[in-house]
Amino acid sequence: MSKQLADLYKQGTLELLILRLLSSGNLNGWDIMQRIQLVSGEVLSVTPGALYPALHRLEARGLISASWGPSDNNRKAKFYGLTARGRKQLDTQRKQWEQFSAAVALILRDA
Amino acid sequence: MNLSDLLRRWRALTHKAEMDQELDEEMRFHLERDVEQNIRDGMTPEDARYAALRSFGGVDQSKEECRSARGVGLIDNVVRDISYSVRVLFKSYAFTIVVILTLALGIGANTAIFSFANGILLRPLPYPESDRLAVIDEIAVNEGGNSMGVAYPNFLDWREQNTVFEGMASHFGTGRFAMTAGGTPSEIRGSRVTCGLFEVLHVSPILGRTFSIDEDRPEEDAVVILGYDLWQRSFGGNPNVIGQKVIISSRPRTIIGVMPRGFRFPEVSELWVPLAVTSKMYTRTDHGLETIARLKDGVTIAQAQTEMKNIAARIYEQNPVTNEGLDVTVTSLRENLSGSYHDGLLILLGVVGFVLLVACVNVANLMLARATARQKEFALRAALGASRWRIMRQLLIESMLLAIAGGALGFVLSIWALHLLLTAIPIDLPFWMNFNLDLRVLGFTLAITLLTGLIFGAVPALQTSRVDLNDTLKEGGRGNSGVRSRARSLLVVSEIAMSLVLLVGAGLMVQSFLRLRRVNIGLNPKNVLTATLVLPRAKYTQDEQRAAFFKQLTERVRTLPGVEEASATGTLPLGGNNWGRSLTVEGYPVAPVGQAPSVQHTVVTPGYFRTMGITLLTGRDFNDADTKDSQNVTIIDERLARQYWPNQSPLGKRVRFGPPEDNEPWFTIVGVVSAVRHQRMQEETRPSVYLPHQKIPVGGLTLVARTSVNPHDFIGAVRREVAQLDPDLPVSEVATMEEVVAESIWQPRLYAMLFAVFAGGALLLAVIGIYGVMAFLVQTRTHEIGVRMALGATARDVFRLIVGRGMKLTAVGVMIGVGGAIALTRLMHSLLFNTSATDPFTFILISVLLSLAAFFACYIPARRAAKVDPLVALRYE
């Protein structure tokens, strides 16, 4: 991953991605990591060192909640899911991101 | 922060172990999934495990970040840091004990002195709304503003004419009364007061009433008010005591009131009788009353002062002769009471503050040395994800823990030290001084404890957190020792400078005190017993009775085996009582009362000069022939003789005493004696005249007896002689003359003692500090020393190198200290006797002594350096 993308992550993009992935169902940390890589077509990746603190931060802010359950390989894993507040937050952030990227795209095309 | 947030944080805090376990499990799960994946991709289990760990990155760092993400990091970490610090401090207990003791001594000394100052300068006086109480006094303008005390008629005019005071009352200070209750006479401290005194103080009796205005008249004054303790002691707290008759100084008086518990005024008085004088008995030239008044709400001392000056000017216009040269002053009661302690206490506070600073510097030095030894520990923690702030906080927490332990121990020490300090004060402490523990003292201790922790903790914390991680972790990294040894050198220099200031201060105080003690007061205090007797006027109504009593008593005491001479005096030198009277010399112009020279007027019995060792220079002593009916004679001191008759004999010349317009009889001079310092050892005050007791038979005299052996052995015998003459007469203030002299200079002695103790402590700390730095220097530079020696440096060169470095620091410290001392000792000026605040002898002596001490502190490490074996030194590391 390039330096610029890493910076984007730091600025909360990683959190937005986590919220989006969790909006379609509960996932554990490993799943989230795999999905980010998979869905982005291997363009984006995240290290555990960045992912887990982000998860705990989101949990601390009440945007996601955690529960323990069996994973698909039948082991005990910690699953994260969106809370009502998290859903709202996702909507706002998503709108902001779309506005922002549309604006950037507009400039890139027309300017 | 909402409720669920709080709950979660609380859970995080209380279920820390559980949550840590969950975190572990979460991470393990992740790693296991990675491993599984890798195996599926075809790796061997071992390779799969390695790859998973590698791709995960720092597991512990991630965990740490997750913990801080949970938002309970701060409290949680502080709790962990504290428990970690406690463990670390326990492990290096030698260091911990030294630091805590150093701090405890510094903080204890400060708390003790602060409690002392608090009791005198800060605590509210034990009277309601005491900030509105003021003392009014009359002063003699031409005698440099000496207090005269108030004349009764002036007081009456003030009370009537002023508009600034709510009330005003006068009293005669604290006196002695004999009260006979249940057979034995006891001596009670009491006061003669005008009506309205208790109202001015806003204190009401718990039983009965206070004095009425009628009882201010001499014929109606047979009443008395008791203090609570006296009432408990002598009457068992009997509530029916009001209306009972009691004999006070041989005069029956009716008890009309009992004052509340804890009330005393002035100083220690616990019995009050009406002043009951008239303007005829006490004219405008009879000064000596003390006047206290309560300012009306909102009136300032300055406003009251202005008004009182106007009133005094008006009185002067109507009484130009008697009130010539008088002025009136208004001061707050607090200032009036504590004024004489003010300077000394502030200086003492400064001194102990310095001692604490030196202690802080020493502890900071120790902390730095320790931090150096712990460099690797911190570097390791930094490598494991601890931030710079976290390491600094850890060090600050350690400092605070040490400070708090030191503060707590210091607080306990201070209670003991204050007790010691108070027992070193030989006088009866006035009632208003209260040294009990209060919130102000606790707050002060807490504040200086925290401040101390910050001061000595900040330097090492800043220094250590600047550590370069890579440098330090490399084997033998000495990267920062240069910076740190510069910091330590700075600390040593400041320590030496501060100690020098303290030592110079102490040197000046001690020298001043020694000079004071060597002062020739004009008499020989060795082997003299003194005891005061006050004959009650009600029983000894006639002059002859009083004269005869003391004549008999001195004769009886004189015949006791071991007593060489016995006599009595109206004013014992340095005993705290004085009687000043105006002097008129025959042949010199008569001056108005305010401008007439004042002399110390002492009534004595024959043999007084022999008893006290006062030299009779010319003429004769009084003898039994100097009676009431014989010629009026007086003996003057050499100073008065020199002043008026510099080139001729004063014998046969005549003088008279009292207000010039009173035309008192003339007294013929029959002798001249050497000068005696009656009032203060520090200075010669007014010259003295002596008069025979037979001529002026006052009721209160101090018996003095010169003995051939320890005067304490005669106390019983003297008491027996008194009891044989009058069994109801209390004997008070029994002391040797040496004790009286020592007591008169208790303040300079106490200051000199405290200064010496504190400065000695600072010196000790400074020497330990220099030693520590030098030893550290030698230890860290062993390698370099080895190289030097290998290259041909002799042991002597090395010795010189180390000592030279130490002495360079000392020299800088001494120079700064001398500058500081010159600036600061000037503040001590008012405490010094015959000693200049910049006394060069003291400055040089102290500088040399301190340098010598510093030299010895460098000597041991330097010797060790000189013995370094280059082979061993180079192999080491």
Looking at the structure, tell me whether residues B322 and B348 fall in a common domain.
no
| Phi, psi for residue B672 in degrees, rounded to 5 | -130, 130
* pLDDT tens, position by position, B593-630: 556 777 888 999 999 999 999 999 999 999 988 888 88
Quick check: B47 contacting A, CB < 8 Å?
Answer: no
pLDDT of res. B609:
94
* pLDDT tens, position by position, B411-440: 999 999 888 888 888 777 777 888 888 888
pLDDT of res. A1:
46
> Which domain-ending residue is among B700, B728, B756?
B728
Q: What percent of chain B has pLDDT over 90?
A: 21
Chain A residues in contact with B22 by the CB 8 A cut-off are: 68, 78
Is residue B119 in some structural domain?
no
Poorest-confidence range of A41-45, B287-291, B576-580, B758-762? B576-580
pLDDT of res. B661:
66
> Which domain-ending residue is among B323, B338, B353?
B338
Given a cut of 90, is residue B396 above it in pLDDT? no
pLDDT mean over B145-156: 82
Which candidate from A49, A60, A75 shows the least CB-CB separation from B62? A49
Quick check: B36 contacting A, CB < 8 Å?
Answer: yes
Instruction: For residue B326, give every residue at least 6 positions away whose Cβ sits within 8 Å of its Cβ, in sequence order, or none.
Output: B138, B139, B140, B141, B148, B312, B316, B594
Quick check: A74 contacting B, CB < 8 Å?
Answer: no
Given a cut of 70, is residue A105 above it in pLDDT? yes
* pLDDT tens, position by position, B226-285: 999 888 888 888 888 888 888 887 788 899 999 998 888 887 888 999 988 777 777 777
Is residue B589 in some structural domain?
yes
> B803: buried, middle or exposed (CB in 10 Å: 19+, 13-18, 0-12)?
buried
Q: Does residue B868 or residue B137 have the better pLDDT?
A: B137
* pLDDT tens, position by position, B338-389: 888 888 888 888 888 888 888 888 888 888 878 777 777 777 777 776 777 7
**The CATH number, out of the four listed (1.10.290.10, 3.40.50.720, 1.10.10.10, 1.10.357.10), of the domain defined by the range A3-110:** 1.10.10.10
Chain A residues in contact with B70 by the CB 8 A cut-off are: 56, 59-60
What integer best gives the mean pLDDT of chain B? 84
- With an 8 Å Cβ cutoff, are B66 and A62 in contact? no
Q: Does residue B27 or residue B473 have the better pLDDT?
A: B27
- With an 8 Å Cβ cutoff, are A48 and B27 in contact? yes
Q: Does residue B676 or residue B769 have the better pLDDT?
A: B676
Looking at the structure, tell me whether residues B347 and B415 fall in a common domain.
yes
pLDDT of res. B815:
93
Query: Could you give the CA distance from residue B408 to residue B406 in angstroms, rounded to a whole number?
Result: 6
pLDDT of res. A47:
81
Chain B residues in contact with A53 by the CB 8 A cut-off are: 62, 65-66, 68-69
Highest mean pLDDT (candidates B55-64, B85-94, B470-479): B85-94
Task: Report how far apart, in Å, the C-alpha atoms of B422 and of each of B120, B426, B438, B474 are.
Answer: 12, 8, 17, 58
pLDDT of res. B12:
63
Query: Could you give the CA distance from residue B285 to residue A51 in angstroms, rounded to a whole number?
Result: 97
Determine the longest span between alpha carbons in chain A, in angstroms. Answer: 54
Interface contacts A/B by beta carbons within 8 Å: 65
Which candidate from B33, B67, B70 shows the least CB-CB separation from A30? B33
Given a cut of 80, is residue B842 above it in pLDDT? yes
Chain A residues in contact with B30 by the CB 8 A cut-off are: 29-30, 33, 48, 52
Looking at the structure, tell me whether residues B496 and B558 fall in a common domain.
no
Quick check: A87 contacting B, CB < 8 Å?
Answer: no
pLDDT of res. B4:
62
DSSP string, B233-277: HHHTT-GGGTT-EEEETTEEEEEEEEPPTT---STT--EEEE---
Is residue B103 in some structural domain?
no
- With an 8 Å Cβ cutoff, are A49 and B25 in contact? no
Poorest-confidence range of B71-80, B264-273, B385-394, B463-472? B463-472
Domain ranges of chain A: 3-110
pLDDT of res. B8:
63
Poorest-confidence range of B35-49, B369-383, B638-652, B778-792? B369-383
Quick check: B30 contacting A, CB < 8 Å?
Answer: yes
Gyration radius of chain A's alpha carbons: 15
Give the distance from residue A94's alpha carbon to the nearest chain B alpha carbon, in angstroms. 23
pLDDT of res. B275:
86
Instruction: For residue B94, give every residue at least 6 positions away whose Cβ sits within 8 Å of its Cβ, in sequence order, or none.
Output: none
Quick check: A30 contacting B, CB < 8 Å?
Answer: yes
pLDDT of res. B477:
46
- With an 8 Å Cβ cutoff, are A53 and B66 in contact? yes
Token pair recorded at residue B85: 């610090």
Highest mean pLDDT (candidates B7-16, B574-583, B699-708): B699-708
Is residue B107 in some structural domain?
no
Given a cut of 70, is residue B71 above it in pLDDT? no
Query: Could you give the CA distance from residue A22 to residue A42 in angstroms, rounded to a whole number?
Result: 19
Quick check: A56 contacting B, CB < 8 Å?
Answer: yes
pLDDT of res. B604:
94
User: Which residues span the domain enclosing B159?
Assistant: 130-338
Given a cut of 80, is residue B141 above it in pLDDT? no
Quick check: B60 contacting A, CB < 8 Å?
Answer: no
- Residue B58: closest CA among chain A residues belongs to which residue? A49
Is residue B735 in some structural domain?
no
Quick check: A76 contacting B, CB < 8 Å?
Answer: yes
Looking at the structure, tell me whether residues B66 and B140 fall in a common domain.
no
- With an 8 Å Cβ cutoff, are B65 and A71 in contact? no
Is residue B57 in some structural domain?
yes
pLDDT of res. B73:
55
Chain B residues in contact with A76 by the CB 8 A cut-off are: 25, 29
CB burial readout B18-47, b (16+ within 10 A) else e = ebeeebeebbebbbbbbbeebbeeebeeee
- With an 8 Å Cβ cutoff, are B65 and A52 in contact? yes
pLDDT of res. B474:
59
Query: Could you give the CA distance from residue B326 to residue B139 in angstroms, rounded to a whole number?
Result: 6
Domain tally for chain B?
4
pTM of the model: 0.72
Task: Report how far apart, in Å, the C-alpha atoms of A8 and of each of A2, A5, B41, B243, B547 are.
Answer: 10, 5, 31, 97, 110
pLDDT band at B10 (very low <50, low <70, confident <90, very high): low
Looking at the structure, tell me whether residues B55 and B149 fall in a common domain.
no
pLDDT of res. B339:
80
Looking at the structure, tell me whether residues B589 and B626 fall in a common domain.
yes
Query: Could you give the CA distance from residue B877 to residue B873 in angstroms, rounded to a whole number?
Result: 8
Q: What is the dihedral of CA B534, B538, B540, B546, to 10 degrees?
A: 40
Looking at the structure, tell me whether residues B501 and B567 fall in a common domain.
no
Which candidate from A48, A60, A75 shows the least CB-CB separation from B69? A60
Quick check: A1 contacting B, CB < 8 Å?
Answer: no
Is residue B123 in some structural domain?
no
Quick check: B66 contacting A, CB < 8 Å?
Answer: yes
pLDDT of res. B819:
92
Given a cut of 60, is residue B845 above it in pLDDT? yes
| Phi, psi for residue A66 in degrees, rounded to 5 | -125, 150
- Give residue for tokens 């009764």: B152
Give the distance from residue B78's alpha carbon to the nearest chain A alpha carbon, in angstroms. 20
Looking at the structure, tell me whether residues B345 and B314 fall in a common domain.
no
**What is the three-class DSSP state of B383?**
helix
Chain B residues in contact with A70 by the CB 8 A cut-off are: none
- Residue A45: closest CA among chain B residues belongs to which residue? B55
Given a cut of 90, is residue A97 above it in pLDDT? no
Residue A108 burial (CB count, 10 A): 8
Quick check: B3 contacting A, CB < 8 Å?
Answer: no
CA B116 to chain centre: 6
pLDDT of res. B75:
67
- With an 8 Å Cβ cutoff, are B26 and A52 in contact? yes
Quick check: B32 contacting A, CB < 8 Å?
Answer: yes
Residue A89 burial (CB count, 10 A): 20
Which residue of A51, A52, A61 to mutate against B (max B Cβ within 10 Å)?
A52
Looking at the structure, tell me whether residues B472 and B614 fall in a common domain.
no
- Give residue for tokens 């039994």: B624
Chain A residues in contact with B65 by the CB 8 A cut-off are: 49, 52-53, 56
* pLDDT tens, position by position, B39-48: 888 888 888 8
Is residue B91 in some structural domain?
no
- With an 8 Å Cβ cutoff, are A47 and B57 in contact? yes
> Which domain-ending residue is among B303, B338, B373?
B338
Query: Could you give the CA distance from residue B850 to residue B762 in angstroms, rounded to a whole number?
Result: 11
Looking at the structure, tell me whether residues B674 and B757 fall in a common domain.
no
Token pair recorded at residue B542: 């006639």
Chain B residues in contact with A77 by the CB 8 A cut-off are: 26, 29
Instruction: For residue B842, give every residue at least 6 positions away whose Cβ sits within 8 Å of its Cβ, in sequence order, or none.
Output: B504, B507, B508, B511, B835
CB burial readout B382-395, b (16+ within 10 A) else e = beeebeeebbbbbb
